[in-house]
Chain A
Amino acid sequence: MEKDVLKKIEVLTASAKYDISCASSGTTRKSQPGKLGSTSGWGICHSFTEDGRCVSLLKIMLTNYCIFDCAYCINRKSNDIPRTALTPQELIDLTMEFYRRNYIEGLFISSGIMRNPDYTMERMLKVVKDLRTVHRFNGYIHMKSIPGASRELVQEAGLYADRLSVNIEIPTEQNLKLLAPDKSYESIYRPMGYIQQGVLESAEERRKYRSAPRFAPAGQSTQMIVGATSENDQTILGLSAALYQRQGMKRVYYSGYIPINNDRRLPVVKEAPLVRENRLYQADWLMRFYQFGVNEIVDEQHPNLDLDIDPKLSWALRHPEAFPVDVNTADYAQILRIPGIGVKSAQLIVASRKYSRLTAQSLAKIGVVMKRAQYFITCHELPMYTIHEATPGYLRELLSEKRTDALPQQLYFPFSQSVVV
């Protein structure tokens, strides 16, 4: 391997790092004779960067040359940055050698767009195919599907990759058109549809023949940039909820907008909207693991998530009539809605209450955050000071996370005044 790969890896990693997804989860595959590697269902993180993000895959671009000019992207063609490309063999060697040293779970391959979407897809596909067939690599592969790629290529990719993804980037088409004139919702949703169809067809086939090939067994994911455009949280979460209805959509990632480029179409921000991003993830979790509907989290009266308190507490304070919940009799779904009780403690409560009555003390031992939960539960002990006595307004004051920055976040930036060229 040449020494100049050091330089290339630096340039191409810098180009790829803004893609949030680095999960290696969603599929379990045991080792096979003569092949290298395995995948584990929950995914394994191998390292954590100084910004606290998990490093699970070798996340890198095949090239950062790009013919598109998207305002939010570091690799847009009008940017003056060093450009380079890895040869397929170099990327394969890096993946194999890193994997053998237990640095990574696999490869996350992405690319700038060369010539046209299909040409780019073919180049990426070659790497992935060689890894699987020539080098007998059995680890995890996440492949980016290029917007506008053709059906045949997406279908072939699904046979080799564990996960495919197409990024939506901007939650409304109108704003996408504004920031990324080369993209359209059609060019994004069409490959998504191909993936979805592939997953469905393969599931159908496998019902008939156990040996039928699996298509992208870890499903697909997508990413949205938050705070670069004027969409409120209701629009964003509404879109996520719709996406999760689709077959095989495993994750929607939210990426707080970081000003990389100077562009008149983009807002000026002091810092990335990290708190808002965090709240969106919490809301996402509520939809996926806590049996919340999107309309319960945000609605017309509350189109944006509360930045001071988490969305679950926020729902509880808006619905005092649902509390207090008796932990000894209420069903699982109700217990899940108590602030301070997560999925794990809810399961422990349901499992252990059939043996003996749970008390406030035993709840604390199990791992319930009583600081929050005490106002929302009853366990047939002494009368407790619940949300009805304390009032939602007071609880909001009491339980909100004290943030050090007094300045308004980017959330409230007046978009209507921004200049549109």
Chain B
Amino acid sequence: MNVFFYDKSFEGLLSAVFDAYARKKFPDLLLEKGDVPPLLVEYSHEVVTCPEKTERVWSGLRKKLPKLVLTQLTYAWLSETAGSDEVIFRYIRKAFDKPHCIATDFNDEDVLSLKKLTQKVSKEVQYLAMFIRFQRMADGIYFAPVAPVYNVLPLATGHLVDRFSDQRWIVYDEGRKYGYYYNQKTVMEMALDDESSLQNGRLREDLMAGDEKLFQDLWKRYFKTLTIKERMNRKLQRQHMPQRYWKYITEKQ
């Protein structure tokens, strides 16, 4: 069995592809540096992440694959699920080895897995666009805590900047302890020093703007009245709006 060790970064993964072709040895297993190798190892190699290698692999891919697939590769990487790096590795290898473009060969297991991984991640991005709830703070900044399954905050900021371009806002990933602040011009990464301003997924009441509570109440009232009793279907509601988000959704709090 061939094992490659790398630093679990996307650049590292691309460097691993470069090394594999240079050595004509392809890994059956990708491990992080410091992981315990399996019992029977035939060949093992430690990848050094190097910008030149990364750039060469990426520009090679740009020639081989449509732009959409390159985005899919980064999305699949951000899923951070076990084994996703191996799918990406095998995909890249096939893309280089096959004479034709493999982008639409969904009969191939890795092409299909990449598509499914991408779908999962982009669904999560959509969920953010749908279920983020801003709360207005006393200083006029709109604040939204979230906890997405995948690390998708960087993918969602584009939409938020486009939509809320004339207000200052923060989205904050409570699970990963970082967020983005937008000051009406640029987006910058930030972290909260003190998380006591958050209570159960919402802002502490003394930090809210004066009329924030009123608008939350108005919205809750609107949401409640909108239900048609004769058509009750809570299962359908949960299907569309996963319960893990309810903590952050004003009308479900």
A103–B133 CA distance with the chains assembled, in angstroms: 7
Contacts of A352 in B (CB 8 A): 104-108
Question: With A47-B249, A351-B104 given, is the CB distance from A102 to B234 under 8 Å?
Answer: no
The closest CB in chain A to the CB of B166 belongs to A36
B63 at the interface (CB under 8 A from A): no
Inter-chain CA distance A6–B220, complex, in Å, is 10
A365: interface (CB < 8 Å):
yes
CB of A369 within 8 A of chain B? no
Which of A38, A348, A355 has its CB near the most chain B CB atoms (within 10 A)? A355
Within 8 A of B (CB), among A232-288: 258, 271-272, 274
- Are A101's CB and B104's CB within 8 A? no
Complex interface bits, A1-41 against B, C-beta within 8 A gives 1, otherwise 0: 10101100110011001100000000000110111111010
Contacting pair B215 A37 (CB below 8 A): no
Q: How many residues of A contact B (CB 8 A)?
A: 55
**B178 on the A face (CB < 8 A):** no
A102-B132, A365-B112 are contacts. A59–B226 as well, Cβ < 8 Å? yes
Complex Cα–Cα for A127 and B135 (A)? 25
In the complex, what distance in Å separates the CA atom of A10 from the CA atom of B217? Answer: 11
Separation of A35 and B236 alpha carbons in the complex (Å): 35
- Return the chain A residue nearest B102 by Cβ: A355
B231 contacts A100, C-beta separation under 8 Å = no
Contacts of B135 in A (CB 8 A): 101
Check: B227 CB closer than 8 A to any chain A CB. yes
Interchain CA distance A102-B216 in the complex, whole Å: 12
Whether B7 sits at the interface, judged by CB under 8 Å, is no
Which of A49, A100, A101 touches B227 (beta carbons < 8 Å)?
A49
Pairwise interchain contact B240-A54, C-beta atoms closer than 8 A = yes
Q: Which residue of A lies closest to B214 (CB)?
A: A1
Given contact pairs A10-B221, A366-B106, A102 touches B133 in the complex (Cβ within 8 A): yes
| Across-interface contacts of B159 in A (CB, < 8 A) | 40
With a CB–CB cut-off of 8 A, which chain A residues contact B130? 44-47
Known: A51-B233, A101-B134, A103-B133. A17 touches B225 (CB 8 A): yes
A348 to B102, CA, bound (A): 13
State which residues 216-248 of B face A: CB under 8 Å.
217-219, 221-223, 225-237, 239-241
B164 within 8 A of A: yes
Check B190 for interface membership: any CB of A closer than 8 A: no
In the complex the two chains form, is B164's CB within 8 Å of A50's CB? no
Contact of A5 among B100, B136, B161, B218 (CB under 8 A): B218
Which 10 pairs show the lowest CB-CB distances between chains A and B?
A52-B236, A351-B104, A51-B231, A52-B233, A352-B106, A13-B225, A355-B105, A48-B240, A49-B227, A48-B241
- Beyond A52-B234, A366-B106, list 17 extra A-B contacts (CB 8 Å): A17-B225, A31-B161, A36-B166, A51-B233, A51-B236, A52-B231, A52-B239, A59-B226, A97-B211, A97-B215, A100-B136, A101-B134, A102-B132, A102-B164, A352-B105, A355-B108, A366-B107
Tell me the A residues contacting B by CB distance below 8 Å: 1, 3, 5-6, 9-10, 13-14, 17-18, 30-31, 33-38, 40, 44-55, 58-60, 94, 97-98, 100-103, 258, 271-272, 274, 348, 351-353, 355-356, 358, 362, 365-366
A–B pairs, 28, beta carbons within 8 Å: A1-B214, A5-B218, A9-B218, A9-B225, A10-B225, A13-B221, A14-B225, A34-B166, A46-B131, A47-B223, A47-B249, A48-B237, A50-B234, A50-B237, A51-B229, A51-B232, A52-B237, A53-B228, A54-B240, A55-B223, A55-B226, A98-B215, A100-B136, A102-B144, A258-B230, A355-B108, A362-B107, A365-B109
